[in-house]
């Protein structure tokens, strides 16, 4: 498995760089363009979940103690696990669905279509199952019935959000600002309330995080089994997030789209890691009220991730709200997700399996691209580009 993920990851990263260098001036427009800020908010909240908020504090000690990560500091390693190379994969799949899929139609091949969408459905439910399973570590002592209530609420909220694209966009923007607010509160608390570190601690951590860049090549292949799990997880999500985000691409040239998708999400990620690293460095115990705020933001992120996947597979399989109506759409998708979450408690499901399937889907795409390589270049540059809609005052586009 290590060789499989290493080769697949290397090919994907090189393909992303090729697109930026070769087709960087190609203009990319989705079918439902939004502003760049909304685009990045949709990407940021769909591509991440509760793990971003809660996991780093449990991972810093691992990276500090394991000799495999001695090439850098725990903060830089954490950033590398979530950082720019991952978002390069998202950019590649987004570019594919904007510019190449309309010509190649790989995901309209019946077998590919069903395999792909079944993996989307399975991943959505598995994300919710992980959320439910991890709640006791985020909220010690939480009763089982409370976990189920929260899980049902998350699934219900995600089903509703997936049916209303304007609400989905609003929720993505709102949760992004919630994340920014949480970061500021935790920074002030760490720097001035729980310690006398001040902002100098944040600036020192920023310098530590920058050690990621001279060590970036370490993250192109699995460092440990844990890092390998991360890579399979990102692969499992990459095509799904790319297709979802492609809908909202806002007319940027490919190189600017790459910048927006790779570097803009990295800024809040990096600041967040630098802030919570202060808690690790100074052994600060997070009070209950602040932990609850972290859990609340994390729950909204889970809803954002689920609603994007639900909207994706429901549209792909023609079981969306426009075709089914509310009376069928809501109970159908709610039942699918609840049933799968319950089934996962008795199934040894592993995200690595989804990652392997997605890698095979990448392989199918590369085969079709190779067979039609002579027509692709002209097609990419000649595809008619829809006009960008005018923004309505007071509306989130």
Instruction: Determine the 3-state secondary structure of 304 from DSSP.
Output: helix
Instruction: Check pLDDT > 50 for residue 265.
Output: yes
Bridge-partner residues for 28, per DSSP? 252
The C-alpha atoms of residue 155 and residue 341 are separated, in whole angstroms, by 10
Q: Tell which wins on pLDDT, 269 or 1.
A: 269
Q: What average pLDDT does the segment 22-37 reach? A: 89
The C-alpha atoms of residue 209 and residue 203 are separated, in whole angstroms, by 10
| Owner of token pair 């390589």 | 373
First-residue to last-residue Cα distance in the chain: 42
Tell me what pLDDT residue 390 has. 43
- What DSSP state is assigned to residue 1? -
DSSP result, 238-295: HHHHHHHHHTT-EEEEHHHHHHHHHTTTHHHHHHHHHHHHHHHHTTPPPPHHHHHHHH
Tell me what pLDDT residue 60 has. 93
Tell me what pLDDT residue 133 has. 83
Contact status, residue 50 vs residue 134, Cβ threshold 8 Å: yes
| Domain range enclosing 240 | 2-22+30-382
Exposure letters 159-188 (e unless 16+ CB within 10 A, then b): bbbbbeeebbbbbbbbbbebbeebbeebbe
| Assigned domain for 389 exists | no
Helix 2-22 to helix 351-371 angle, to the nearest 10 degrees? 50
387 — pLDDT class (breaks 50, 70, 90): very low
Tell me what pLDDT residue 383 has. 52
Report the percentage of the chain scoring pLDDT > 70: 95
Q: What pLDDT digit, counting tens, does each position of 156-196 carry?
A: 999 999 988 888 889 888 988 999 999 999 999 988 888 77
Instruction: Check pLDDT > 90 for residue 397.
Output: no
Instruction: Check pLDDT > 60 for residue 271.
Output: yes
| Assigned domain for 387 exists | no
Exposure letters 291-329 (e unless 16+ CB within 10 A, then b): eebbbebbbbbbbbbbbbbbbbbbbbeebbbeebeeeeb
Tell me what pLDDT residue 155 has. 93
Bridge-partner residues for 250, per DSSP? 29
Exposure letters 241-266 (e unless 16+ CB within 10 A, then b): bbbbbbbbbbbbebebbbebbbebbb
Q: What average pLDDT does the segment 111-129 reach? A: 87
Q: Extract the tokens encoding 355.
A: 């990652």
137 — pLDDT class (breaks 50, 70, 90): confident
Instruction: Determine the 3-state secondary structure of 176 from DSSP.
Output: helix
The secondary structure of 353-364, three-state, reads: HHHHHHHHHHHH
| Assigned domain for 395 exists | no
Q: What average pLDDT does the segment 39-56 reach? A: 83
Q: What average pLDDT does the segment 56-67 reach? A: 92
293 — pLDDT class (breaks 50, 70, 90): very high
Q: What average pLDDT does the segment 191-218 reach? A: 89
Q: How many domains does the chain have?
A: 1
Instruction: Determine the 3-state secondary structure of 221 from DSSP.
Output: coil
- What DSSP state is assigned to residue 150? H
Q: What average pLDDT does the segment 69-93 reach? A: 92
| Assigned domain for 146 exists | yes
Instruction: Check pLDDT > 80 for residue 27.
Output: yes
| Assigned domain for 393 exists | no
Distances (CA, A) of 6 to 63, 222, 224, 231: 21, 7, 12, 9
Instruction: Check pLDDT > 80 for residue 393.
Output: no
| Assigned domain for 376 exists | yes
Q: What CATH number should be reported for the domain holding residue 247?
A: 1.10.4160
Q: Extract the tokens encoding 155.
A: 């699934």
The C-alpha atoms of residue 167 and residue 303 are separated, in whole angstroms, by 12
Tell me what pLDDT residue 344 has. 80
Q: Extract the tokens encoding 11.
A: 């090919």
| Owner of token pair 């989905």 | 168
| Assigned domain for 396 exists | no
| Assigned domain for 394 exists | no
Instruction: Check pLDDT > 90 for residue 54.
Output: no
Report the chain's mean pLDDT, rounded to a whole number: 87
379 — pLDDT class (breaks 50, 70, 90): low
Where do the H-state alpha helices sit in the chain?
Answer: 2-22, 36-46, 50-54, 56-65, 74-82, 84-95, 101-104, 110-138, 144-163, 165-188, 199-209, 225-246, 254-262, 266-281, 288-316, 321-324, 326-344, 351-371, 373-382
Q: What average pLDDT does the segment 364-392 reach? A: 68
Q: 221: burial class by Cβ within 10 Å (0-12, 13-18, 19+)?
A: middle
């Amino acid at each position: 498995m290590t060789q499989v993920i290493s080769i697949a990851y290397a090919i994907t990263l090189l393909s992303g760089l090729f697109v930026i260098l070769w087709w960087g001036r190609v203009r990319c427009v989705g079918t439902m363009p939004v502003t760049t800020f909304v685009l990045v908010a949709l990407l940021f909240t769909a591509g991440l979940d509760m793990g971003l908020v809660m996991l780093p504090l449990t991972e810093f000690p691992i990276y500090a103690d394991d000799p495999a990560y001695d090439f850098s500091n725990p903060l830089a390693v954490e950033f590398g696990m979530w950082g720019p190379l991952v978002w390069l994969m998202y950019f590649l799949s987004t570019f594919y669905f904007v510019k190449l899929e309309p010509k190649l139609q790989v995901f309209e091949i019946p077998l590919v279509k069903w395999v792909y969408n079944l993996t989307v459905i399975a991943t959505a439910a598995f994300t919710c199952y992980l959320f439910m399973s991890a709640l006791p570590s985020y909220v010690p002592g939480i009763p089982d019935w409370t976990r189920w209530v929260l899980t049902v609420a998350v699934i219900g909220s995600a089903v509703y959000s997936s049916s209303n694209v304007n609400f989905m966009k609003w929720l993505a923007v709102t949760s992004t600002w919630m994340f920014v607010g949480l970061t500021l509160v935790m920074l002030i608390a760490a720097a001035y309330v729980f310690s006398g570190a001040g902002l100098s601690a944040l600036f020192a951590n920023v310098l530590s995080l920058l050690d990621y860049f001279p060590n970036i090549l370490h993250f192109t292949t699995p460092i440990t089994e844990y890092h390998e799990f991360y890579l399979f997880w990102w692969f499992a999500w990459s095509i799904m997030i790319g297709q979802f985000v492609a809908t909202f691409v806002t007319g940027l040239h490919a190189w600017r789209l790459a910048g927006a998708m790779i570097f803009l999400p990295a800024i809040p990620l990096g600041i967040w890691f630098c802030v919570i690293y202060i808690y690790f460095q100074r052994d600060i115990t997070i009070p209950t009220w602040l932990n609850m705020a972290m859990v609340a933001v994390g729950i909204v992120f889970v809803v954002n991730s689920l609603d994007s996947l639900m909207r994706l597979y429901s549209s792909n399989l023609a079981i969306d709200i426009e075709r089914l109506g509310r009376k069928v759409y809501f109970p159908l998708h709610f039942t699918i997700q609840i049933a799968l979450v319950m089934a996962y408690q008795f199934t040894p499901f592993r995200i690595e399996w989804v990652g392997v399937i997605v890698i095979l889907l990448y392989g199918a795409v590369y085969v079709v691209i190779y067979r039609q390589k002579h027509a692709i270049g002209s097609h990419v540059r000649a595809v008619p580009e829809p006009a960008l809609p005018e923004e309505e005052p007071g509306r989130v586009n």
